[in-house]
Amino acid sequence: MTAYTEVIQDGMLQLLRSGTLEVASATAFSLSEESMQELRADIADYRKRIILRPQEISNHPEVIRRLGCLAMNGMIETDIYGT
């Protein structure tokens, strides 16, 4: 999967680290101190997998439409049966 979002938070780094996400595109970071240390410790790997873009691009409806994104305004955790 790839992520096209405005802000990369702790959970997104976990998804990158686990290999669930190949690439994440965002405008900024909002990380806990622990995640910030992890980012700095492995910056060589993350720099290949994180793209930072201006907000005018990341939030532009036409760009998002052309990407064919499925959007969600927050990560939801559930199982296949919805329990």
Residues with catalytic annotation? Answer: 6
The first and second tokens of residue 73, run together, are 């305004």
Q: What is the dihedral of CA 43, 53, 63, 68, to 10 degrees?
A: 10
Measure Cα distances from 47 to 8, 9, 22 in Å.
13, 16, 12
